[in-house]
């Protein structure tokens, strides 16, 4: 059986990177797989979150997923902390995964920065919780952006080590699904840095809540160089900001970057940016309007999440019971 698990953190606005790198792919995979889509609040608190803001963000991110086309009737949409299996299995994986494996995780190094001694233990153990998210449902496929590839490899290693240590064929090897041009959308201010919720400049990203005027302003202010658009991918690769904008246009219009260059080569960025704005507004405008409608009705969002938690729990609970048996925990 093919089962998808994927997650998004409720740490702020969803942005174009989340949409193109993850959520849009979730929507497209819904016809082929049984899916669980999770708002990972336990991952969020690995760095400080203001409690009322976290609650607000959980509903907003859920609204974003639904507005983008996630089908909460056919599939399971829920909040991580509402299903105990995530924390329970994460502890077991803390005892399976090795310190040496976690020491190699580049996201921890980036997020902890220079002051590593002061990072939370949760930030360090984060990949084990992510492995638990996926394997508590024995998910076989995990659609993510490029930045999560290393964590997925760790989840595969952890599944294999668990099976090997306990001499069982229990957990599957989850496959990452990483798609094309938008697997890594970069900041609009710096083409060498990932577009991120945590960037202090709002001009670095296009949020799924931005209206048409805000999108136009951010695209106009996006960093570029004075050269017109090149006609080859090689020439484009040497210009990170240009490559990012072309990549965004390609992803939004469902083409390859080469096809975008075939249309726009030789034109100035001032001109290209107008087309890019129109393209972004045409894709994000309807999602934005639907998000507004959904966030005005928190009772509906809460009902979706409540039902999702019940359905997720019903899948994870028997899997966890087997894990407890395998490990030798007392279950009465």
Q: Which residue of 151, 156, 197, 218 would you call a contact of ligand AMP, by CB under 6 A?
A: 197
The residues with which 175 forms a beta bridge, in sequence order, are 141
* ∠ CA 45-46-47, rounded to 5°: 80
Sign of the torsion formed by the C-alpha atoms of 110, 111, 113 and 116:
negative
- With binding defined as CB under 6 A, does residue 46 bind ligand TRP? no
Please report, for residues 41, 103, 112, 116, 118, the alpha-carbon distance to residue 109 in angstroms, rounded to integers and kept in the order given.
21, 8, 5, 8, 12
Q: Which residue of 79, 92, 144, 242 would you call a contact of ligand TRP, by CB under 6 A?
A: 144
- With binding defined as CB under 6 A, does residue 18 bind ligand AMP? yes
Choose the contact partner of 133 out of ligand AMP, ligand TRP, none; CB within 5 to 8 A by kind. ligand TRP
Of residues 276 and 323, the one with the C-beta less far from ligand AMP: 276
Under rule CB under 6 A, which residues in 22-61 are in contact with ligand AMP? Answer: 22
What HEC string does 71-100 produce? CCCCCEEEEHHHCCHHHHHHHHHHCCCCHH
- With binding defined as CB under 6 A, does residue 43 bind ligand TRP? yes
Stretch that binds ligand AMP, among 85-93, 120-128, 190-198, 236-244 (CB under 6 A): 190-198
- With binding defined as CB under 6 A, does residue 194 bind ligand AMP? yes
Choose the contact partner of 295 out of ligand TRP, ligand AMP, none; CB within 5 to 8 A by kind. none
Which one-letter DSSP state was computed for residue 117? G
The answer to whether residue 306 is catalytic is no
Q: Which residue of 58, 130, 188, 276 would you call a contact of ligand TRP, by CB under 6 A?
A: 130
The answer to whether residue 194 is catalytic is yes
Stretch that binds ligand AMP, among 165-173, 179-187, 213-221, 297-305 (CB under 6 A): 179-187
Q: 3-state class of 142 per DSSP?
A: strand
Under rule CB under 6 A, which residues in 130-149 are in contact with ligand AMP? Answer: 144-145, 147-148
- With binding defined as CB under 6 A, does residue 189 bind ligand AMP? no
DSSP string across 16-49 = HHHIIIIIHHHHHHTTTSEEEEEE-HHHHTTS--
Stretch that binds ligand TRP, among 23-31, 108-116, 140-148, 276-284 (CB under 6 A): 140-148
**Candidates 194, 221, 274, 306; catalytic one:** 194
**Candidates 197, 218, 273, 292; catalytic one:** 197
- With binding defined as CB under 6 A, does residue 184 bind ligand AMP? yes
Which residue in 1, 43, 38, 44 sits closest to 22, CA to CA? 38
The answer to whether residue 138 is catalytic is no
Q: Tokens for 119, please give them.
A: 């990072």
Residue 249 C-beta: closest distance to ligand TRP, Å: 24
CB 83 within 8 A of CB 313: yes
Find the helix or strand (DSSP H, E) in which 262 lies.
helix 257-264
């Amino acid at each position: 059986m093919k089962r998808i698990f994927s997650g998004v953190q409720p740490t702020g606005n969803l942005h174009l990177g989340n949409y193109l790198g993850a959520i849009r792919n979730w929507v497209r995979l819904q016809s082929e797989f049984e899916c669980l889509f999770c708002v990972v609040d336990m991952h969020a608190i690995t760095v400080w979150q203001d409690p009322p803001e976290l609650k607000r963000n959980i509903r907003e991110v859920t609204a974003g997923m639904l507005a983008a086309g996630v089908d909460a009737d056919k599939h399971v949409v829920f909040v991580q902390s509402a299903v105990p299996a995530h924390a329970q299995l994460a502890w077991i994986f803390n005892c399976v995964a090795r310190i040496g494996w976690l020491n190699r995780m580049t996201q921890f190094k980036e997020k902890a920065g220079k002051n590593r001694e002061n990072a939370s233990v949760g930030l360090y153990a984060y990949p084990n919780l992510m492995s638990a998210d996926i394997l508590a449902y024995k998910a076989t496929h995990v659609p993510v952006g490029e930045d999560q590839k290393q964590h997925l490899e760790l989840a595969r290693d952890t599944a294999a080590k668990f099976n090997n240590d306990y001499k069982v064929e229990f957990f599957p090897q989850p496959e990452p699904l990483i798609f094309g041009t938008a697997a890594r959308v970069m900041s609009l201010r710096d083409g060498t840095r990932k577009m991120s919720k945590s960037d202090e400049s709002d001009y670095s990203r296009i949020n799924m809540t931005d209206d048409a005027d805000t999108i136009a302003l951010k695209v106009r202010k996006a960093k570029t160089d004075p050269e017109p658009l090149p006609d080859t991918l090689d020439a484009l690769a040497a210009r990170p900001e240009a490559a990012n904008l072309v990549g965004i246009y390609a992803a939004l219009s469902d083409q390859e970057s080469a096809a975008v260059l075939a249309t726009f080569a030789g034109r100035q960025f001032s001109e290209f940016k107008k087309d890019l704005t129109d393209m972004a507004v045409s894709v994000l405008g309807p999602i934005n309007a639907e998000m507004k409608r959904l966030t005005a009705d928190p009772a509906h969002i809460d009902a979706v999440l409540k039902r999702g938690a019940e359905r997720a729990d019903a899948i994870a609970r028997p899997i966890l019971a087997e894990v407890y048996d395998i490990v030798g925990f007392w279950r009465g």
